[in-house]
Amino acid sequence: MTECDTRHDESEGFHRQGSVSSQQDLVQWENASVETCTVISLLGYGLEIIHVRRDAYREHCRLRTARANGTITTIITGSKAGGGELTRFLESDIDIMFVRNNFVCLEDCVSADKFPREITVFRSYSRMSYPGHCRLLLERRGTTTDWNVTDALCDDGHGHELLSSDLFLHNCRKCKFMKGIVQHDRSGPSMPNTLSVTLHTDIVDAFLYHCPSILSKWAARPRHWPLPDVVQQVVSLGAVLTPVGFKGSEHQHVEWRVCFNAGEIELISNLNDTQTKLYVLLKMIKNDVLHARKKEVSSYTMKNIVLWMAENNPQASFHTKSILQWLHEALDALRVALITLELPYYMIPERNLMATSGLDEEQQRTWISTITDMLHEGPRVILRLPKIRQCIVAHPEPFRWYSGRRIELELLWLMRMNIVSICRDENWKIDDTDAIVQALDRRINEVVTDVCVRMRMEGSRVINAPAIFYRILMENVNDDQ
């Protein structure tokens, strides 16, 4: 770790623990922490459901990759990275990355000779680009190619061909989508779309990037976490380049961003239970307290704070009784990031995640003030989160009953998602006669019917079963419809 990195960590409180002034305060913090962890598990973020989600999403990626016959590797990223443990099925957009295997991008130190002739090779050029970004020079045309790549090549003014990220993404948007999919405006490197009104996905096309110098620098940092074998696994997973430049750069239209999606999935999977729940709490604060809508503060911001905290502190200090003290530390780190507009990217600390946040002064002042107030509230800060507050004041038996039905419904739907992937034909039509699909659909209908009946008995104005089905998967059903 460089002197700059160490100075940053110390200034942002990644090494300090808690704000407890007496033994009585400590007991209060610990009791509230234990109760908070219990509630978060009941909301669907316990270890068991996490492992099931992880397995289901990894299997889904494996099935989609196999269907592409080796040309494309599918990775589910974003909030569902690491197996989707941090969001329920329809709770947030599904971020899908398609890594094109007929193309590869290389750092200067990597030889192109080790790759088959059918693969097109690009050489990264990072000088004059912001850290974590680069331009791509065509080095070798492969025997297999793709029109939306070749049509995105442009002259750099010195007789070399550059791959334009803007042109590439523009070409990708011309590709035909499945019937019923509605495309939306570009968002960074992604192509947002909606299927059947409720299923929102962000699709990112990417290229493999061999960058051993970047990864070896990350691996060499002194750390408490993760374990050495996990560090080596992250290094082996490599990186990808996504089609988006640094905002404001004169070369933005031909720049690409370095990402470590597969490695970050592995890192998130290796967080312990308390660290995972801390990330869940921070995402709730981002959505329900800060109400960040334009990504000035994103889930990715929160993820990086958690990763830095995990790396710089002993694992044993993250336990059920300490989660609210760590939430206090994380909020303090976020407050400093908002004040200084600096937060180093976990994989490449030279890249400042706040550099392009687009945060205006009024919003900055408001959020700093809000977080400062939260830091003064002690354990009661948790009551600012609607989902947590509603669970605490709810009657235990109905809440546990509904929580069990919602988790069962999600597990059934995840199973159906992967079975359907196997049962689709070449036109993506589902074989509705499949016995497993029919059995899953029957049980799904039974669970939804049970919830509808109970809601009617308790006086809720239920519109229809399909509406309840989507509401269950998206949010808690705790108010009249």
Q: What is the mean pLDDT of each run of 10 residues along the chain (481 residues)?
A: 39 41 84 94 86 88 88 80 45 80 94 94 92 96 89 89 95 72 78 71 93 97 98 97 93 95 94 95 94 86 97 97 97 98 98 92 96 95 91 78 87 89 74 87 90 80 68 50 28
Where a domain ends, among 270, 297, 317? 270
Q: Quote the pLDDT of residue 79.
A: 53
In the chain, the number of structural domains is 2
Q: Quote the pLDDT of residue 180.
A: 62
Domain containing 129: what range? 71-78+89-270
Q: Of 473, 445, 449, nearest to 462 (Cα)?
A: 449
Q: Quote the pLDDT of residue 152.
A: 95
How far apart are alpha carbons 36 and 39 in whole angstroms?
Answer: 5
Where a domain ends, among 228, 248, 270? 270
Considering the domain boundaries, does residue 95 fall inside one?
yes
Q: Note the pTM of the prediction, 2 decimals.
A: 0.85
CA 454 to chain centre: 34
What are the tokens at 77?
Answer: 């990223």
Q: What are residue 163's DSSP bridge partners? A: 153
Specify whether 266 is located in the same domain as 132.
yes
Q: Quote the pLDDT of residue 135.
A: 96
Considering the domain boundaries, does residue 293 fall inside one?
no
What are the tokens at 105?
Answer: 């991008």
How far apart are alpha carbons 359 and 337 in whole angstroms?
Answer: 12
- Phi, psi for residue 19 in degrees, rounded to 5: -140, 70
Considering the domain boundaries, does residue 42 fall inside one?
no
According to DSSP, residue 100 is labeled E
Residues 6+ apart with CB under 8 A from 391: 39, 42, 43, 399
Q: Quote the pLDDT of residue 431.
A: 77
Specify whether 246 is located in the same domain as 101.
yes
Considering the domain boundaries, does residue 461 fall inside one?
yes
Residue 57: what residue type?
Answer: Y
The answer to whether the beta carbons of residues 135 and 251 sit under 8 Å apart is yes
How far apart are alpha carbons 353 and 338 in whole angstroms?
Answer: 11
Where a domain ends, among 219, 243, 270? 270
Q: Quote the pLDDT of residue 480.
A: 31
For residue 263, what are the CA distances in angstroms to 229, 237, 388, 397?
Answer: 13, 6, 31, 40
